[in-house]
Homo-oligomer: A and B are copies of this chain.
Amino acid sequence: MPKIVDADHRRELVADALFHVIAERGLTQASLRNVAQTAGLALGSVRHYFDDQAELMEFAFRVNSERIHLRALEKLEALEAEELSARLDVLVERCTGVLAELLPLDEGRRADAVVHMEYMLDARTNAALSDAAQDDYRATGAVVGRVVLQLMNSPLMSKILVPVDEAERLIAILDGLSLRMVLQPAWSAPEHGLATLRRHLEDLLAP
């Protein structure tokens, strides 16, 4: 029959172009024309794969959210699979490694984090994105919650902590660090943010 192009692959290619535009010039410049141009496509081609601008926006949002959380989930499941370490510093390092996937520590994760922030803020007033935003909240809540459980279940944990409370504080720290590192990279270097995260986890486990 007709010409065959991997449609799904093409949609992700357009989404990547959108990410690039948002990361470089902000969500306000993410017009269909700008996206098409950076994707090397014509405006008509982009609209062939996405009926709406809204459809492109939600699709890209979900790709971005999944990309971020899948990285963390991979490391998390590896952590849950291995037997509990008897050494405190090892446990801290493992948990730090999982949560660090949610921080903009390298250029790739930085672009993801920038796009993520812009999307979450936009979802506040953009009803078409609110469902995707809800799913995103649940995803990060699940990752952080499971990390907290790992800490709680460790025999090295001497304090009595309320899991929900610590998850909330940890989420706040992650969001806050991510925000600062995205907006103010000059003052918030990657190693700096990572160290703050590690220090907090050490505090939780400290006797």
Contacts and interface: CB of A to CB of B under 8 A. Distances in A.
Interface of A: 24-29, 114, 117-118, 120-126, 133, 137, 165, 168-169, 171-177, 179-180, 182-184, 187, 192, 196, 199-200, 203
Contacts of A114: 124
Given A169-B196, A196-B165, A200-B169, A25 B125 contact: yes
B28 A28 contact: yes
A123 B179 CA distance: 13
The 6 A-B pairs of least Cβ separation, nearest first, read A172-B176, A176-B176, A175-B176, A26-B125, A172-B177, A172-B173
A141 to B, nearest CB: 9
B173 A180 contact: no
Contacts of A137: 184, 187
Contacts of A24: 125
A204 to B, nearest CB: 9
A165 B199 contact: yes
Contact of A179 (B27, B179, B192): B179
A139 B186 CA distance: 17
A145 to B, nearest CB: 13
Contact of A180 (B175, B184, B192): B175
